[in-house]
Amino acid sequence: MTDFYAMHVIEALRSGVPSRAVGACFTEARPGMMKRIEDRLEAVRASGRSDGMIFTGHYGEGKTHLLNTVFNMATQSNMAVSYVALGKETPMSNLPVLYQKIISNTYLPGTAQPGFRQKLEELTPGSGVTGDLLAFSAKELETDKLYYLLRAMLGTQEEEERTQFLGDLEGDFVSNDVIKRSYRRVEGQTAKFNQNFVKTRHTMDYFSFMSHFFSRIGLDGWVILFDEAELIGRMGKKTRLKSYREMQTFLQPGDRMKGVFSLFALSSSFAEDVIDKKHEMESAEAEYAEDPAALKAVKATLNAMLNAPELTKLSREETLQILAGIQSFHGKAYHWNPQVTPETIYAETEAGGYLLRTKIRAAIEYFDQLYQYGEAGKTRITELGKESFEEEETPELP
């Protein structure tokens, strides 16, 4: 009988598309890096204080796989998890857009699909959770927009209006005037904002609120995983510098977020190909000469990138262990028993070069040939191309 879960794992590996199922099954490699991340994650869970880190790795050597492994680790630890790949459509430099992308890719423990609107819909007037959220949004945020929005959302009898307010919490921001009109109708008094909410300046209020919300509904924290952070290097200079500035908000959030652990995956070549070749430190000093706080944040991010721990190349023993796992899954997926030693598989995958991703795909092709023909010729998998950090002319999503 076909094992469809094993088949899913093999097909994900064959395509080279990252998969959380693969991340859950192949967790043994790079124990040093995983222990380092796990310790930081557990410190966040235990203390409630937010933290962030960057790790680097060569192209095709398992950065995304490691993020998927952390994803499974976090959900099993009763934490909400968000997963985004940075780029033009998910720009680090644009917090309002980034917030919307993060929220739309947030998973609660035990769920297969992203989303948590049902938890927001369960908020009721007078409950302890609601009272705590109202007090937090009134006193602990830079603006009090979310306080008035919550009051209006809880009090309105208009289903369309309530849906609009729920959408606001997910990043589809409604105007201040809409909230004020609804609040006046529901409460019979005027909403007096301490200052008007401007999404380009105050989106961190939403991150703060959501981190508190996850805590109040019984979760042990919120993990935000940022993949492909090296794509920042393809942006224009001003966008890159702003991205570094915003990254520091997640790497060293201070008291702005509760129980949040942010993890960035970055290419090992970023330091040489972007920070050094594009003279990022000098550009930051010129751009933020009159803004010491911004300059400090940018330099802190750049130094964190330069000093980030790197995924070490897998040892022969670790690679053999992974190839043996692939052999086992291929057998389960197609209901057969490939009689091959791991050393033979290792030798047959040499044509794929040194990258882990290509070795894995070469191994699967090898097993495919054995399964179909009873013997295998040379695999056709070749080495992957090199990354490019040429600046893109296409503007990011506004």
Is 395 a domain residue? no
| CA nearest to 77, candidates 122, 45, 48 | 45
Is 213 a domain residue? no
pLDDT at 18 (0 to 100): 59
Tokens of 46: 């235990």
Tell me, yes or no, whether 286 and 274 share the same domain: yes
pLDDT at 177 (0 to 100): 94
| CA nearest to 379, candidates 364, 397, 398 | 364
Please give the model's pTM, rounded to 2 decimal places: 0.86
Whole-angstrom distance, CA of residue 120 vs CA of residue 97? 21
pLDDT at 30 (0 to 100): 74
Tell me, yes or no, whether 223 and 350 share the same domain: no
At position 380, the amino acid (one-letter code) is: R
Is 210 a domain residue? no
Tell me, yes or no, whether 224 and 275 share the same domain: yes
Tell me, yes or no, whether 44 and 122 share the same domain: no
Is 328 a domain residue? yes
Residue 379 CB: number of other CB atoms within 10 A? Answer: 21
Whole-angstrom distance, CA of residue 82 vs CA of residue 79? 10
- Give me the domain span that covers residue 176: 118-204
**DSSP assignments along 352-381, one per residue:** G-S-HHHHHHHHHHHHHHHHHHSS------
Total domains, the chain: 3
Tell me, yes or no, whether 105 and 232 share the same domain: yes
Running along the chain, 398 residues long, what does each successive block of 10 average in pLDDT?
75 70 62 92 95 92 90 95 96 97 97 94 94 96 96 94 96 95 94 93 97 97 97 96 98 94 97 97 97 97 97 81 85 87 81 69 86 71 54 54
